[in-house]
Structure 1
Amino acid sequence: MSDHAAARPVTIVAIGAGNRTNKYLEYAVRHPERLQLVGVVELNDIRRRAVAEKFGLAPEQCYADYDRFFAHPLPADAILIGTPENMHFDPCMKAIEAGYHVLLEKPIAQTLPECCRIAEAARRKGVIVGVCHVLRYHPYFVRIKEIIDSGELGEIISISHLTAVGLDRATHGFVRGMWRREEVTNPMLISKSCHDIDFLLWLTKARCRKLSSFGSLRWFRRENAPQGSTERCIDCPLESRCPYSAVDLYDVRRDWISNFDVPEGSSLDEVIRRELREGPYGRCVFRCDNNVVDHQIVSMEMENDVTISFAMDSFTLGDQRETHIRLTHGEIDGDERTLRVKSFRGRKERVYDFSPILGTPFHAGADLNLIEDFVEALAHPGERLRTAIDHSVESHRICFEAERSRLTGQTITLERDEYGLKC
Structure 2
Amino acid sequence: MNRRSVLKQLSLSVGATVLGSKTMARLTNDTIEYEIPENPLYKKLDKPVTAITLGAGNRGNVYGNFALKFPNLLKIVGVAEPVALRNERYATKHQVDDKNRFDTWERVFERPKFADAIIITTPDALHYAPCMKALQMGYDILLEKPIAPTEKECRDILALAKKTGRIVAVCHVLRYAPYFVKMKELLAKNTIGNIISIQHLEPIEHLHMAHSYVRGNWHNSKKTTPIILAKSCHDLDIIKWIINQPAKQISAMGDLKWFRKENAPEGSTARCTDGCKVERSCPYSAINAYYDKRLRLSVFDLPEDKAKHPEAIMEKLKTTDYGRCVYRMDNDQPDHYITNIRFGDNITASFSMEAFTSYAGRRTRVMGSHGDMVGDMTELVVTDFLTEKQTKLVPKAEDVEGYRNSGHGGGDWLLAHDFVQAVAQQNPKLLTSTIDESIESHVMGFKAEESRKSNKVVSIVM
Shorter-chain TM-score bucket reads over 0.9
CA drift of 1:207 comes to 1.1
Match of 2:278 in 1: 238
1:371 aligned to 2:411? no
The 2-side partners of 1:354 and 1:238 are apart by 43
CA drift of 1:73 comes to 3.8
1:400 aligned to 2:446? yes
Mean alpha-carbon deviation: is it higher for 60-69 or for 348-357? 348-357
Match of 1:267 in 2: 307
CA drift of 1:303 comes to 1.7
1:338 aligned to 2:371? no
Match of 1:328 in 2: 369
The 1-side partners of 2:166 and 2:175 are apart by 21
Asked if the contact 2:113–2:139 (Cα under 8 Å) also holds between the matched residues in 1, the reply is no
Match of 1:173 in 2: 212
Cα distance change on mapping 1:3 and 1:188 into 2, 3 Å: closer
Match of 2:345 in 1: 304
CA drift of 1:240 comes to 0.8
The 2-side partners of 1:263 and 1:6 are apart by 37
The 2-side partners of 1:90 and 1:356 are apart by 34
Match of 2:84 in 1: 45
Letter of the structure 2 residue corresponding to residue 410 of structure 1: K
SS in 2 for 1:406: helix
Could you give the per-residue CA deviations for residues 58-108 of structure 1, whole angstroms, max 9, x where no partner exists?
210101112111112451110000000010000010000111000000000
1:412 aligned to 2:458? yes
CA drift of 1:150 comes to 2.4
Task: Report the TM-score when normalising by structure 1.
Answer: 0.94
The 1-side partners of 2:117 and 2:197 are apart by 39
Could you give the per-residue CA deviations for residues 296-326 of structure 1, whole angstroms, max 9, x where no partner exists?
0000111211000000010111112111000
Where do 4+ consecutive residues of structure 1 move more than 6 Å?
Answer: 1-5, 355-360
CA drift of 1:357 comes to 8.6
1:391 aligned to 2:437? yes
Could you give the per-residue CA deviations for residues 383-416 of structure 1, whole angstroms, max 9, x where no partner exists?
412110011110000001000100010111123x
2:326 corresponds to which of 260, 285, 289: 285
Letter of the structure 1 residue corresponding to residue 285 of structure 2: S
Q: Map 1:15-414; keep pairs closer than 5 Å.
A: 15-234=54-273, 235-263=275-303, 266-268=306-308, 269-353=310-394, 361-362=402-403, 363-384=408-429, 385-414=431-460
The 2-side partners of 1:78 and 1:84 are apart by 19
The 2-side partners of 1:406 and 1:4 are apart by 46
Mean alpha-carbon deviation: is it higher for 275-284 or for 257-266? 257-266
The 1-side partners of 2:45 and 2:283 are apart by 53
Letter of the structure 1 residue corresponding to residue 338 of structure 2: I
The 1-side partners of 2:241 and 2:42 are apart by 32
Asked if the contact 1:5–1:379 (Cα under 8 Å) also holds between the matched residues in 2, the reply is no
CA drift of 1:338 comes to 2.8
Unaligned ranges ≥5, structure 1: 418-423
The 2-side partners of 1:383 and 1:41 are apart by 26
Aligned residues: 416
Letter of the structure 2 residue corresponding to residue 126 of structure 1: G
The 2-side partners of 1:324 and 1:227 are apart by 41
Mean alpha-carbon deviation: is it higher for 346-355 or for 179-188? 346-355
Asked if the contact 2:77–2:97 (Cα under 8 Å) also holds between the matched residues in 1, the reply is no
The 2-side partners of 1:315 and 1:304 are apart by 34
Match of 1:421 in 2: none
The 1-side partners of 2:393 and 2:257 are apart by 37
The 1-side partners of 2:435 and 2:428 are apart by 14
Asked if the contact 1:11–1:78 (Cα under 8 Å) also holds between the matched residues in 2, the reply is yes
Cα distance change on mapping 1:346 and 1:124 into 2, 3 Å: same
CA drift of 1:7 comes to 2.5
CA drift of 1:354 comes to 5.1
Mean alpha-carbon deviation: is it higher for 345-354 or for 236-245? 345-354
Letter of the structure 2 residue corresponding to residue 375 of structure 1: V
The 2-side partners of 1:264 and 1:348 are apart by 54
Mean alpha-carbon deviation: is it higher for 223-232 or for 143-152? 143-152
CA drift of 1:220 comes to 0.4
The 1-side partners of 2:134 and 2:458 are apart by 34
Asked if the contact 1:337–1:358 (Cα under 8 Å) also holds between the matched residues in 2, the reply is no
Mean alpha-carbon deviation: is it higher for 338-347 or for 143-152? 143-152
Match of 2:6 in 1: none
- Give me the CA root mean square deviation: 2.0
SS in 2 for 1:184: coil
